[in-house]
Structure 1
Amino acid sequence: MRSKLFTSSKASSPSHSYAQSPARTPMMSSPMNTPFHHHRTFSASIMEEDLLDAEQIIQRWDLDSPSYTKIEYLFTGERREAKMFIKSVTSLQSAMHFFVSESASSEKIIHAQKLMQIAMKRLQKEFYRILSSNRDALDSESVSNHSYARSSSVSDDDNVSDQEDEIPNSPVSDRKKISVSDMAMNDLKTIADCMMSSGYSKECVKIYKIIRRSIVDETLYNLGIENYTLNQINKMDWEILESRIKSWVRGEKVAVRSLFYGERILCDFVFSSSDKIREACFSEICKERAASLFEFPELVAKSKKSMERMFRTLDMYNAISDQWTDIEMIFSFESTSVVRTQAVTSLVKLGDSVRVMLTDFETAIQKETLKTPVHGGGVHPLTRYVMNYLVFLSDYSPALSDIVADWPLLVQSPLPEAYFPSSTSSDDSSSSITARFAWLVLVLLCKIDGGAELYKDVAQSYLFLVNNLNYVVSKVSNSNLSLLIGVDWIEKHKQKVKQYAANYERIGWSKVISSLPENLDAEKLTLEMARNCFRRFNLEFNDAYKKQSTWVIVDHKIRDEIKVSIAKKIGPAYKEFYEKYRNVFRGVDSVVRYAPDDLGNYLSDLFHGTGAPGSVSNSSHSSSSSSLSRSR
């Protein structure tokens, strides 16, 4: 025997109200037929009729009846029979209340209880069928798009209106307005309300939890969400762990925005008549699964750390941070606070892990020793690695701003003003992340300065600085680093690149330039002096070309600018000198080795890093024809 068979009814049935109407109660003079006695007898007869009506409908759907067809269901098609069935259960409840007030041991109560058990058994089966056969219709996306405006229970009102009855007979286009998802949700709510009001909450909730929990488990599995221990994660190769993290990031977004969100909507709707039940139901279905979902990032954060794990760690941080509002809303119940706590814990642990990796990254740069000069004075591998790392890192600046906001940069001396934007942000988190990136770039540039000292030729060391500083500036300019470090920093360091380039030209070509007379109009050179000038020019140009034939300028724009600049410094002066003295020497080839056009051709070969060191004296460039043969 159930401890609680029914609950109080909110309102009397129409027949009960009719029995209480004075106009419908005749006045009798017999002592046994007083108005009060007649009223109770009449009410009893009405309740007996309601009991008989309910019995006819309920027994028609008795699962144990030999006449029952097992393929038939109440909540299909027109729903007219379902409405009658729900009304019968409501009437049965009212009758049971009445009979209990008359006599607690009445046979009618026992009979009514048996009918209620038959009805509840039927509703349990209907509830199970709707949940299991509408898995697709009750998926998270369909549920989240559910229109509450159309959510009307089949048992609303005293109250099954003619208009409701006409829905199944309406045109097909009208019936389609109520989706399968809406219909299933409405049916579930109708059954849940009826079972809970009849004292069968546990049976209803048990069925719901079993089916919906299996759906949650299956969905998480299909999303690639699995449970791991810290020991398992530590034993994974990075390639395997990285693939698990990628699956988690994709799966977490779907799980929060679709799966758990849909489960919360469905649970809130179906069990809307009881706050306690809807909370307990949702909690038992989703709490453990969600807490496990958000535990994975914490375990990854606690595992071995390396710089290559930085970006996947930030991916997980962003996944939780970006959806924190949804997480708070979905798991707002007190009973699901463990999910919110776990999500926050993972955020904190991931942030701590990022800080450790940033520190390790800085330490790795500082410990890097540049022992071997880069061939041709090109971009050092350290410069490429660090700047590409920082460029990718800058894409996570919102997350990094949160992580380093309360993590001040501690250095022995303050950063130069050139390493900060001119307009200081009032946002402490923005200032903190700006200082962090500016400091890492400065650490790299110090290493670049040290690498320049590896070159024996001072001109080549400046070319190395041109290549590497320009690479840094270019990476900053064409990424989110420009927003963090600032335009002023970019402009100041572009000027430094130009200064290094000018220093290279001055040192690398000064002997060639100084070998030519400064002012031919003012100076009257003897033939011997002119001969010596040609010889010295030949020697210095050959030496400069020989040394620089394997040097490289990576940026094509800077390469062209430097070639043009060198050509302007040498070409016009040499051409004037050449035209004035070329024809005065006998055996001119032994003295005049280069035609003016040849100089441009030789210069065009430079800075590609493909030339082989050697002398240019073996080639003949003493005539314009040889110059044309080398032109491009």
Structure 2
Amino acid sequence: MSTFFFSSSKAPSSVSSFPSFSTHSSSSPIHTFSESMMEGRIENAKPIITKWNLNSSSYTKAISVFGHNRKEAKELLKSVKDLFQAMHFLVSENSPSHKLVLAQTLMQIAMERLEHEFYQILSKHCDQLNPKSVSGQSSDESRNSDNKEASEDEDELKRAGKTITEEENVSQLAMSDLKAIAECMISSGYGKECIKIYKLIRKSIVDEGLHQLRIEQFKASRIQKMNWEVLEYMIKNWLSAVKIAVKTLFSGEKVLCDHVLSASDTIRESCFSHITEEGAMNLFRFPEFIAKGKKSQEKIFRQMELYEALTDLWPEIELIFNYDSTSAIKLQALSSQQKLGDSIQTILYEFESRIRKDLSKTPTIGGGIHPLTESAMCFICSLGDHSEILSEIFAEHPPRNSTITETNIGSSTSNHSSASPASVHLAWLIFVLLCKLDRKAEPCRKDLSLSYLFLANNLNFIIEKVRTSHLKDLFGEEWMSMHNKKLKQYALNYETVAWTKVFSSLPEKSSSPIPPDAAKECFRRFHAAFEEAYMKQTSWNVPDGKLRDELKISIAKKLVPAYREFFDTYIMMVNGDRNLEVLVRFGPAGLENYLSDLFLGTHILLSSSSSLSCSSSLGCIIR
């Protein structure tokens, strides 16, 4: 690299590259100096410039003037400044002085040396150039700051040395030197050579940094062919890498570029754009490729993480790439965010559509939890954990569902201004699921009690999933209260339909007792009705223990006392019947035991070996 830039056969700049000078007006300060003074400046610059001529000796070529003797480095820069001023004067005066030719030769020697120094410092300290060592100066402040004399630099370093490490000292010196050299070369009309070196070295640093972050050249065709496991690994890596790339790599490069190339806004913008554009465009294009892939529920959460990362980093992206020439980078980041939002919305729309179009018509055996309920609620609860980013997405990409009203999702999530877009939409998805479950209960309408039990089971499952997840905070107490009331109504409807025949088999309360034959018939009807209900409902299933116990207790509280009263009143009346064991199968205690068998999902037969024994003091008891 060094040979390429600094071979003796190629000077860093020709005479023609020297900037053209316009004649100053007589009022210009430059005309206050005499021609002899300008020629004196040329002569004064000659010793320091020729001393550090790259072609004068192998020694001067091997060492760095800024690393070897900082005082002479400052003298060299000052000599170039004086030389340029002198040349400017001589050209403006159309002076035929032979000193102008000498000045041009010295300027080429000086620029070759400064170009060499600039390259060496950039290369040697590429890993030590720390933007934080700019001593807290903003880009604007550093842009307007003047070069300091060597003594001032040394004093500054002494003060800085009290609080920063040796490595930071080196970084600060390197950045200060780069800034001074760049300003000198640009102001002398040799900005092209300076820019060429800066772009080449710093772009390689940025590209290497992205490579170390495992950011490769992404191609849509290759990404579309990857299996999800590999792609998910790449997404995880990108999520980590993009934060470092934006907050450290690109941000640091912007500060460094603003500091070193503060002499020219145009040059600074051109360099930063060239250095970062390729890597940044590739980095921010990756989420768009993911968004354009095949849509599936399992991918939505990674896509939301990508969307969230871009959202969180956007203020810094906008600040870093604030030039017109880097607007394409910002547009790419926005495009990726837009495509992710569209993709997430599409996945949610397809999820809602799959609920509506689910074709399984037979409910689960025993009225248990439908697989659709389990899978849908698992997905919706997981969405609830990402409610904040979902709300941002819904704000930018309104869901494509029907009008959501207070009636169908609960006023607490639809009518209050504090309700987030995520809570409204997730409540809507649950409403769609409940509507579908109501239709799925239709095949068991032949046994209406099983239909109500199916609805109660599934609604209870939904309520419990909401209660034990972040959805509870999103929906609020009003939603919970509304659906708990609906659950109690389902349970009451089930109880009424399932046990009406059993209740109606017992005689109504009356002041006069019924005849023995009527009592026998009541016992007969009660046991037949109970056995029928028992046989069905032991095969029915209530998976939730709390709901199962609540249903059993509710039935027992109504049925057992009524049966006990009837039993105690009429058992002695039918005690002499020779078919008593068939007629009266169990007593009140036995009834409670049988009720405990309900909703376990297995058939349990009534015992046929129950027998009665009589005691003159205790009457008849079941054993």
TM-score, scaled relative to structure 1: 0.79
In structure 1, how many angstroms separate the alpha carbons of the residues matched to 2:191 and 2:179? 12
Letter in structure 2 aligned against 1:463: L
* Cα 1:72/1:40, change in 2 over 3 Å: closer
8 Å CA contact 2:381, 2:465 repeated in 1: yes
- Match of residue 546 from structure 2: 557
Letter in structure 2 aligned against 1:66: S
2:394 to 401, 405, 408: 401
- TM-fit CA distance, 1:434: 6.5
- TM-fit CA distance, 1:592: 4.8
- Match of residue 41 from structure 2: 47
* Aligned counterparts, 1:420-439, within 5 A: 420-421=410-411, 436-439=425-428
8 Å CA contact 1:366, 1:443 repeated in 2: yes
In structure 2, how many angstroms separate the alpha carbons of the residues matched to 1:6 and 1:111? 16
In structure 2, how many angstroms separate the alpha carbons of the residues matched to 1:603 and 1:426? 45
1:5 to 11, 18, 41: 18
- TM-fit CA distance, 1:398: 1.8
* Aligned counterparts, 1:614-625, within 5 A: 614-618=604-608
2:81 to 90, 94, 98: 90
Letter in structure 2 aligned against 1:148: G
- TM-fit CA distance, 1:452: 1.2
1:211 to 201, 207, 214: 201
Letter in structure 2 aligned against 1:607: F
In structure 2, how many angstroms separate the alpha carbons of the residues matched to 1:572 and 1:127? 100
Cα distance per residue 1:450-477 (max 9 Å; x no partner): 2112224322211110111222333445
Cα distance per residue 1:223-281 (max 9 Å; x no partner): 34333444333333344344434433443333333322222222122111211001111
| Structure 1 residue 119 corresponds to structure 2 residue 110 | yes
1:445 to 417, 434, 439: 434
Q: Which is further off, 475-484 or 248-257?
A: 475-484
* Aligned counterparts, 1:181-192, within 5 A: 181-192=171-182
- TM-fit CA distance, 1:579: 5.2
| Structure 1 residue 498 corresponds to structure 2 residue 491 | no
In structure 2, how many angstroms separate the alpha carbons of the residues matched to 1:528 and 1:602? 26
- TM-fit CA distance, 1:409: 4.0
Letter in structure 2 aligned against 1:293: L
- Match of residue 630 from structure 1: none
In structure 2, how many angstroms separate the alpha carbons of the residues matched to 1:242 and 1:121? 51
- Match of residue 32 from structure 1: none
| Structure 1 residue 292 corresponds to structure 2 residue 282 | yes
Q: Secondary structure at the match of 2:64?
A: coil
* Cα 1:259/1:67, change in 2 over 3 Å: closer
Cα distance per residue 1:541-562 (max 9 Å; x no partner): 3333322223222333322222
Letter in structure 2 aligned against 1:397: L
* Aligned counterparts, 1:462-611, within 5 A: 462-479=452-469, 481=471, 487-517=477-507, 519=509, 522-525=511-514, 529-578=518-567, 585=575, 592-609=584-601
In structure 2, how many angstroms separate the alpha carbons of the residues matched to 1:475 and 1:176? 55
Letter in structure 2 aligned against 1:5: F
In structure 1, how many angstroms separate the alpha carbons of the residues matched to 2:287 and 2:41? 62
In structure 2, how many angstroms separate the alpha carbons of the residues matched to 1:180 and 1:393? 50
- Match of residue 443 from structure 2: 454
In structure 2, how many angstroms separate the alpha carbons of the residues matched to 1:504 and 1:546? 16
- TM-fit CA distance, 1:499: 0.3
Unaligned runs of 5+ in 2: 1-13, 23-28, 614-623
| Structure 1 residue 130 corresponds to structure 2 residue 121 | yes
- Match of residue 419 from structure 1: 409
* Aligned counterparts, 1:138-287, within 5 A: 138=129, 142-143=130-131, 146-149=134-137, 160=149, 162=151, 164-166=153-155, 173=162, 176=165, 179-287=169-277
8 Å CA contact 1:224, 1:247 repeated in 2: yes
1:310 to 300, 308, 328: 300
Letter in structure 2 aligned against 1:347: Q
Q: Which is further off, 447-456 or 92-101?
A: 92-101
1:357 to 347, 368, 378: 347
8 Å CA contact 1:379, 1:464 repeated in 2: yes
In structure 2, how many angstroms separate the alpha carbons of the residues matched to 1:276 and 1:426? 52
Letter in structure 2 aligned against 1:399: E
Cα distance per residue 1:171-229 (max 9 Å; x no partner): 95356496544443323222211221222212211121112212222232333433344
In structure 1, how many angstroms separate the alpha carbons of the residues matched to 2:417 and 2:335? 25
Q: How many correspondences in the alignment? A: 585
Unaligned runs of 5+ in 1: 10-15, 22-38, 624-632
In structure 2, how many angstroms separate the alpha carbons of the residues matched to 1:419 and 1:243? 38
RMSD (Å) for aligned C-alpha atoms: 4.1
In structure 1, how many angstroms separate the alpha carbons of the residues matched to 2:197 and 2:512? 109
Cα distance per residue 1:263-306 (max 9 Å; x no partner): 22221221112110011111111223323333333344444434
In structure 2, how many angstroms separate the alpha carbons of the residues matched to 1:105 and 1:427? 82
* Cα 1:594/1:135, change in 2 over 3 Å: farther
In structure 2, how many angstroms separate the alpha carbons of the residues matched to 1:145 and 1:171? 10
In structure 1, how many angstroms separate the alpha carbons of the residues matched to 2:410 and 2:15? 76
Letter in structure 1 aligned against 2:85: S
Percent sequence identity over aligned pairs: 44
In structure 2, how many angstroms separate the alpha carbons of the residues matched to 1:335 and 1:325? 18
Cα distance per residue 1:384-405 (max 9 Å; x no partner): 2223333333424223323433
8 Å CA contact 2:413, 2:427 repeated in 1: no
Q: Secondary structure at the match of 1:372?
A: coil
- TM-fit CA distance, 1:382: 1.1
8 Å CA contact 1:391, 1:475 repeated in 2: yes
- TM-fit CA distance, 1:527: 5.2
- Match of residue 30 from structure 1: none
- TM-fit CA distance, 1:379: 1.3
In structure 1, how many angstroms separate the alpha carbons of the residues matched to 2:521 and 2:264? 107
In structure 2, how many angstroms separate the alpha carbons of the residues matched to 1:173 and 1:296? 44
In structure 2, how many angstroms separate the alpha carbons of the residues matched to 1:305 and 1:334? 35
8 Å CA contact 1:419, 1:485 repeated in 2: no
* Cα 1:581/1:379, change in 2 over 3 Å: same
- TM-fit CA distance, 1:150: 9.8
In structure 2, how many angstroms separate the alpha carbons of the residues matched to 1:182 and 1:574? 94
Letter in structure 2 aligned against 1:441: I
